[in-house]
Chain A
């Protein structure tokens, strides 16, 4: 049973990391949430949103959400398997491709691929924003936190950590819940 969970984690994380074009992990959050919550029932949507928040509030690549999904699904072994599976394939690809980089630098198809995939990535990130917020915002005060954080991050150039810290303080003191 556990072995099959680990195999599923490894496969899903490797596939998702290879599909994560252009916007980092946010483009694959809808699929990661679908797999973890709807398909495999490793957690409910609210737990997923909480884990996503922890990954956002921690230092390092946001892709480490897969580490927490693995931890919840199959303990420490799951966390390590998920992290390695999400890292190794893209790293191998980068290792090989960075050797060819000079050759494709001036190729016209590079601009076509970038221009064509950018709006797809944005649509997927918008879907992530919707799914994360819908699972997290189960009270009016929490909707206000989401809107406030979005406005703070969109309209100012300050470190988003300030908004996360303010939200954590509000939550800890029971002002929002």
Chain B
């Protein structure tokens, strides 16, 4: 929590400086600046990195303009893997090739890996102790609720837009993966072609 607040304060302080130098076109960040920028995104990114990525890359540092950010993000959402990791690769590569992609992705991953290993190690060692056990139980329940909300937020617009195709596929995905526990490759092998066919028929 304290880290999030600190990051907000840093952004406000930085915004004041940025407004006196509003010249994003001339700024090509060095490898080290790239590393630091993505490190800042990573430690701010509680419960979703993308709003922070936009705030830091577009508003604060002026490295990308909004349209550029949107079209790069569209590519990253289309490819497999976490969107923000893909974004770091695509943006780092554009600026400095291989070295830029590596600098950005290391900036994004280093601090979170250390933090999560520390927390995970504490849990595996002390997680069975009384009050901590209660805390992790409640956290697990809350994390489940978070995913319920994510599923609902993604399902509602799809169902509104194309109820006849979206509902059967969503239900089939839930039943195959959640209730029947099919392996994921089997679920994808069955549902991806059906989804693509339905989407194609809708367009023609």
Contact = CB atoms under 8 A, between A and B. Distances in A.
Question: Is B truly associated with A?
Answer: yes
B141 interface: yes
A74 B169 CA distance: 37
Given A17-B81, A93-B79, A108 B203 contact: yes
A74 to B, nearest CB: 12
Nearest to B185: A19
Interface in B50-98: 71-72, 75-86, 89-90, 93-94, 98
Given A56-B47, A93-B79, A176 B137 contact: yes
Main secondary structure of the interface of B (DSSP, over half): helix
A40 to B, nearest CB: 13
B89 A72 contact: no
B164 to A, nearest CB: 11
Contacts of A3: none
A5 to B, nearest CB: 16
Contacts of B203: 108, 111-112, 115
B32 interface: no
A16 B184 contact: yes
A133 B85 CA distance: 27
Contact of A97 (B79, B171, B199): B79
A34 interface: yes
Contact of A119 (B1, B169, B188): B169
Contacts of A125: 147, 150-151, 154
A115 B199 contact: yes
Contact of A56 (B146, B173, B188): B146
Interface residues of A, number: 111
Considering residues A52, A127, A164, which has the most beta carbons from chain B within 10 angstroms of its beta carbon? A127
Interface of B: 1, 3-4, 42-49, 71-72, 75-86, 89-90, 93-94, 98, 101, 105, 108-109, 111-113, 115-117, 119-121, 123-124, 127, 131-155, 158, 165-166, 169-174, 176-179, 181, 183-185, 187-188, 191-192, 195-200, 202-203
Given A52-B143, A153-B153, A163-B145, 10 more contacts: A19-B80, A50-B140, A101-B75, A117-B195, A119-B173, A123-B169, A137-B144, A146-B145, A154-B153, A176-B138
